[in-house]
């Protein structure tokens, strides 16, 4: 299972386009708050010239890159800085080994499966400071870090007895691990919204996309995961169907990172990737095609909306803003900050928790100043982080849409990690 030659060299070679201009440096949210991270240019295109394509890399500082991807996005010259860093991090990890904690954080399915049968105990434990302190010591998961609660009944269980409506318009739903184990209501609402718009939703069995493995530097298992996922998302009879993702990070993995960071070259994955849409990207497209139902009831709320890094990484603009803008009564305040700090599992780690909180500080301050009723964000880990840091209820923007379509209170869910 060797990664593709071309995919691998293309990212590395992009360092040739770096003219050291410092655009990435001035935009990096991590370098802005800690000197442990010398900045994207330094650990990226600059350090890459000192790394052999084989052999180990000497630089532990790259491990402080949160992988938010801002650098790649702002680089005017097309240097794949974040991707270079992710690969370097994997090599660094290859040298130092991966801790038990990182193995666990990299496998949400495992955590979910282990936790689910004993959900009440597990969730109780999450709230117990002494236990969290112990976990911090033993595992290195920061005691105050936002961890999701496991639900007793998975999303798949909840939809298993559903009677899907028949429709010539079909889509495949890529729900990801988080919906299955932690936020099943997000998945249920996604299905409801799609069905409301006349789609029959296929929900094939699916595992993890491999993103947490990838960001931990476990590239081989990550490659296996994403290839397996590509097969799961394209079962027989679903050729050519759009695949809808409600998790921005899992969507990004399938759309770009599997190829650009992991170097996976796989026809099946490429096909799946071409058909994958972020939920709001899809809905905004429906609207432009005049097909989105707008039988909205007013939602009289003031919501601060934050488009997460992984969604911006998809280059789809801010489709949630476009769609929610159609809902009467809803007042949306857009938050223009580059990162909330959590970056997947980065902010959970003991040694990075403080950095992650500092990265998110400007965002949290903006939210506090805006005094919204709710905070909306498309990414689950960001919701948990923002909820924990601001104490405000957080929702996936689709929960607002669900409500506008006459569904129940958004999320009934209340707030991120504390929710349900």
Partner 1 sequence: MMKAVETDLLVIGGGATGAGVAWDAASRGLQVVLADRGDLATGTTGRFHGLLHSGARYAVKDPRSARECAAENRILRAVAADCIEDTGGLFVSTPADDAAYADGFVAACQQAGVAATEVPVTEVLRAEPHLCPGITRAFAVPDATIDAWKTVWACARAAAAHGAAILPYQEVVRLMVEGDAVCGAVLRHARSGEEITVRARYVVNAAGAWAGRVARLAGCDVAVVAGKGVMVAMNHRLVNAVVNRCAMPGDGDILVPVRTVSVIGTTDARVEDPDRVQASADEVRAMLAAGESFIPGFTQHRALRVWAGVRPLFAATSPTSAETRDLSRGHTVIDHAAREGVGRFITIAGGKFTTFRLMAEETVDAVCADLGVRAECRTAAETLPDSEERHYYWIGARQAQAEARPVDDPLVCECELVSRQDLLVAAARRPGLDLDDLRRALRLGMGPCQGGFCMARATGLLHEAGHLDRAAANAALRDFVEERWRGIQALAWGDQLRQMRLDAWILLGVLDLEHLPE
Partner 2 sequence: MDPSARMAGNDRAAADVVVIGAGTAGLVAAIRLSQGGLRVRVVAAGHGCLVLAPGVIDVLGYAPERVADPARALAPFVAAHPDHPYARVGPDGLDRALAWFRETVAPLGYVGALRHNRLLLTALGGLRPSCLVPQTMAAGDLSQGGPVLVVGFHGLRDFSPALVAANLCAVVPAPGTGVAARAATLEWPGPSGDGRPLTLARRLEDRSLRAAVGRDLRTVLGDEPRVGMPAVLGVDRWQEVWEEMQLVAGRPIFEIPLVPPSIPGLRLFDLLRRVLRAAGGRLQVGAPVTGVRHRNGRVEAVTVARTPREQVIDTRWVVLATGGVGGGGLQVDPDGTVREPTLGLPVHGVPVPGHPRVLPDPFASHPLDRAGLAVDEAWRPVDRSGRVVALNLHAAGAALTGCEPWREKSGEGISIATGYLAASAILEEAG
- Is residue 215 close enough to count as binding partner 1 by CB under 8 A? no
> Of 61, 167, 302, 420, which one interacts with partner 1 (CB under 8 A)?
61
Residue 250 contacts partner 2 per CB under 8 A:
no
Q: Using CB distances below 5 to 8 A depending on partner kind, what does residue 72 bind out of partner 1, partner 2, none?
A: partner 2
Closer of 137 and 268 to partner 2 (Cβ):
268
Query: What are 87's two structure tokens?
Result: 């690969």
Contact between 412 and partner 1 per CB under 8 A? no
Q: By CB under 8 A, tell whether 365 contacts partner 2.
A: no
The nearer residue to partner 1, 49 or 166, going by C-beta atoms, is 49
- In the structure encoding, which two tokens stand for residue 269, read together? 């994955």
Among 60, 143, 270, 361, binds partner 1 (CB under 8 A): 60
Query: Is 328 an interacting residue with respect to partner 2 (CB under 8 A)?
Result: no
Using CB under 8 A, pick the residue from 54, 130, 168, 289 that binds partner 1. 54
- Calculate the alpha carbon distances from 286 to 233, 292, 419 in Å: 22, 5, 31
- Using rule CB under 8 A, residue 75 touches partner 2: yes
> Does 105 interact with partner 2 (rule: CB under 8 A)?
no
**Phi-psi region for residue 166, left (φ > 0), alpha (ψ -120 to 50) or beta?**
beta
User: How far apart, in Å, are the Cα atoms of 98 and each of 92, 149, 219, 322?
Assistant: 10, 25, 12, 41
Residue choice 24, 28, 59, 67 for contact with partner 1 (CB under 8 A): 59
Choosing among partner 1, partner 2, none, which partner's interface includes residue 2 (Cβ < 5 to 8 Å by kind)? partner 1
Among 11, 29, 30, 48, binds partner 1 (CB under 8 A): 48
Measuring CA to CA, which residue among 396, 367, 419, 370 is closest to residue 146?
419
Nearest to partner 2 of 117, 315 (CB atom): 315
Q: Does residue 132 belong to the site contacting partner 2 (CB under 8 A)?
A: no
Name the β-bridge partners of 201. Answer: 171
Is position 58 an interface residue for partner 1 (rule: CB under 8 A)?
yes
Beta-bridged to residue 244, according to DSSP, are 173, 277
Q: State the number of CA atoms in the 13 A half-sphere of 172 facing the CB.
A: 26
Strands 374-377 and 276-278: unpaired
Q: Which of 11, 40, 46, 400 binds partner 1 (CB under 8 A)?
A: 46
Confirm or reject binding of residue 18 to partner 1 (CB under 8 A).
Answer: yes
Q: Least CB distance from residue 341 to partner 2, whole Å?
A: 16
Roughly how many angstroms between the first and final C-alpha of the chain, as a whole number?
Answer: 41
Is 295 a binder of partner 2 (CB under 8 A)?
no
Contact (Cβ atoms closer than 8 angstroms) between residue 77 and residue 17:
yes
Q: What strands, in cross-sheet order, belong to the sheet with 243-245?
A: 200-202, 170-174, 243-245, 276-278
Q: Which stretch binds partner 1 (CB under 8 A): 44-52, 128-136, 151-159, 404-412?
A: 44-52
The site partner of 315 among partner 2, partner 1, none (C-beta below 5 to 8 Å per kind) is partner 2
When asked if residue 26 is in the footprint of partner 1 (CB under 8 A), the reply is no
Contact between 15 and 84 under an 8 Å Cβ cutoff? The reply is: yes
CA distance 398 to 282: 12
DSSP 28-81: -TTTTT-TTS--HHIIIIIHHTTS-SSS----GGGGG-----HHHHH-TT---H
- The contact set with partner 1 (CB under 8 A) reads 2, 5, 8-9, 13, 15-21, 35, 41-42, 46-61, 77
């Amino acid at each position: 299972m060797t990664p593709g030659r071309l995919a691998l060299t293309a990212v590395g070679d992009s360092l040739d386009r770096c003219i050291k201009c410092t655009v990435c440096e001035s935009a990096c949210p991590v370098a802005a708050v800690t000197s442990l991270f010398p900045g994207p240019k330094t650990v990226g295109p600059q350090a890459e010239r000192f790394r052999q394509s084989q052999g180990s890399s000497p630089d532990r500082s790259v491990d402080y890159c949160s992988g938010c991807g801002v650098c790649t996005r702002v680089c005017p010259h097309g240097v794949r800085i974040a991707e270079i860093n992710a690969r370097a991090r994997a090599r660094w990890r290859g040298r130092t080994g991966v801790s038990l904690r990182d193995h666990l954080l990299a496998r949400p399915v495992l955590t979910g499966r282990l936790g689910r049968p004993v959900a009440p105990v597990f969730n109780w434990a999450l709230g117990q400071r002494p236990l969290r302190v112990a976990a911090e010591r033993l595992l290195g998961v920061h005691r105050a870090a936002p961890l999701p609660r496991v639900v007793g009944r998975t999303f798949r269980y909840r939809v298993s007895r559903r009677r899907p409506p028949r429709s010539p318009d079909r889509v495949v739903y890529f729900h990801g691990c988080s919906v299955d184990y932690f936020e099943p209501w997000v998945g249920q609402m996604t299905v409801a919204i799609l069905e409301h718009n006349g789609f029959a939703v296929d929900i094939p069995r699916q595992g993890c996309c491999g993103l947490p493995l990838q960001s931990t530097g476990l590239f081989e298992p990550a490659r296996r995961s994403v290839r397996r996922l590509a097969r799961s998302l394209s079962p027989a009879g679903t050729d050519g169907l759009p695949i809808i993702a409600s998790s921005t990070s899992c969507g990004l993995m399938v759309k770009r990172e599997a190829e650009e960071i992991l170097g996976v070259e796989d026809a099946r994955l490429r096909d799946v990737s071409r058909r994958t849409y972020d939920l709001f990207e899809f809905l905004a497209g429906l609207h432009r095609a005049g097909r989105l139902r707008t039988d909205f009831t007013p939602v009289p709320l003031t919501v601060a909306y934050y488009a997460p890094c992984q969604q911006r990484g998809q280059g789809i603009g801010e489709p949630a803003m476009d769609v929610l803008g159609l809902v009467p009564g809803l007042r949306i305040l857009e938050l223009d900050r580059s990162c909330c700090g959590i970056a997947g599992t980065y902010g959970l780690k003991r040694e990075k928790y403080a950095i992650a909180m500092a990265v998110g500080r400007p965002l949290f301050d903006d939210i506090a100043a805006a005094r919204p009723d709710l905070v909306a964000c498309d990414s689950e880990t960001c919701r948990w982080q923002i909820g924990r840091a601001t104490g405000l209820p957080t929702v996936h923007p689709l929960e607002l849409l669900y409500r506008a379509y006459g569904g129940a209170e958004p999320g009934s869910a209340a707030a991120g990690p504390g929710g349900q």
